[in-house]
Amino acid sequence: MTPATLSPVHREERTAPPRPRTRRRPFLAPYLFVAPFFLVFAAFGLYPLVFALQLSFTDWKGAGEAHFIGFENYSYLLTSPEFWSSLGNSAVLWLLIVPVQIIGGLAAAVLLANARLRLRGMFRVAFIAPFVTPLVAMAQVWIVVFDTDYGLVNHLFQLVGLPEVAWLTSTSWAKPTLALLFLWKTTGFAVIILLAGLQAVPPDVYEAAALDGASRRRQFRSLTLPLVRRSIAFLVVIQTLAVFQMFAEPFVVTQGGPYGSTTTGGLYLYDHITSSDLGTGAANSFLLVLLVFALSLLSVRLLRSRDE
């Protein structure tokens, strides 16, 4: 069939313009946009991590050639009384800080979320103000307030006839005083996290429970605690990491004393760095990472709900 004998319909179909092709997005464009993050992470996160892991198997003083010694740094730390003492001090501080902070922070969050306070905004600012205050400045204030001879606390004790307490120079009171500083500094952060978890709970849940005759105590036990479990788990993990890495508080306030009673895991790690024992310090840091990871995993499993 020649073109002259084609019907008009066939001619229109044959002379119809081609359909425009859909333009495909460049395949590499998304990866180019996220490439800066991965480059920065590789340079300042992944490479130091791999280098520290390699360093933990060597004997290196910061200069010269690093000598491979295998697991000697780890075996030295695992048989060192000072290492286990620092972990014990951190564990005692954890017991003094985290449970108190969870209970007190949750009570304050419930009060700020539900109570009809006229100065609610001022109370929220008062809770968060210590968290944004420089830690070194607060530690210096703590030294002055809890000084044995000239401190404000002992002066108030004398006014009411109570004996003086060696807050920072006795093994019995140094850790509670340090824990009180940590609580004063970070409880505002805990209140903010728990308050956000409480505000995410729909009000209809409490209204339905009230219609069913549930009391406030029953609502708190059966509704509030299960619904803010994830916020509590997050807070426990963050504060566990902070307590076992605590450095500035004992370094400024007690210098690890008296008699090493406030030498935490982070401060013990710092001692290896100042003595240029970088291989042992790297091994110490990885042991702390493994310990905190295990404690965090245990906390998450204990606080996880049954349906998760």
Q: What are the Cα distances from residue 201, in Å, to 81, 106, 204? A: 47, 14, 9
pLDDT for residue 94 is more than 90 = yes
More confident residue, 183 or 122: 183
Whole-angstrom distance, CA of residue 182 vs CA of residue 184 = 5
Inside any domain, residue 175: yes
Q: pLDDT digits over 265-284, tens only?
A: 889 988 888 888 888 888 99
The helix/strand/coil state of 59 is: strand
Q: What is the mean pLDDT of residues 235-252?
A: 89
Provide the domain count of the chain.
1
The predicted structure's pLDDT at residue 299: 79
Inside any domain, residue 42: no
Inside any domain, residue 92: yes
Helix and strand numbers (H, E) in the chain are 16, 2
Inside any domain, residue 56: no
Say which CATH number the domain at 98 has: 1.10.3720.10
pLDDT for residue 89 is more than 90 = yes
Inside any domain, residue 34: no
pLDDT bin (cut points 50, 70, 90) of residue 70 is confident
Inside any domain, residue 57: no
Q: What is the mean pLDDT of residues 28-36?
A: 84
pLDDT bin (cut points 50, 70, 90) of residue 21 is low
Whether residue 258 is preceded by a cis peptide bond, meaning omega within 30 degrees of 0, is yes
Domain range for 140 is: 76-303
Inside any domain, residue 27: no
Q: pLDDT digits over 101-160, tens only?
A: 999 988 888 887 766 666 666 777 777 888 888 888 888 889 999 988 888 899 898 889
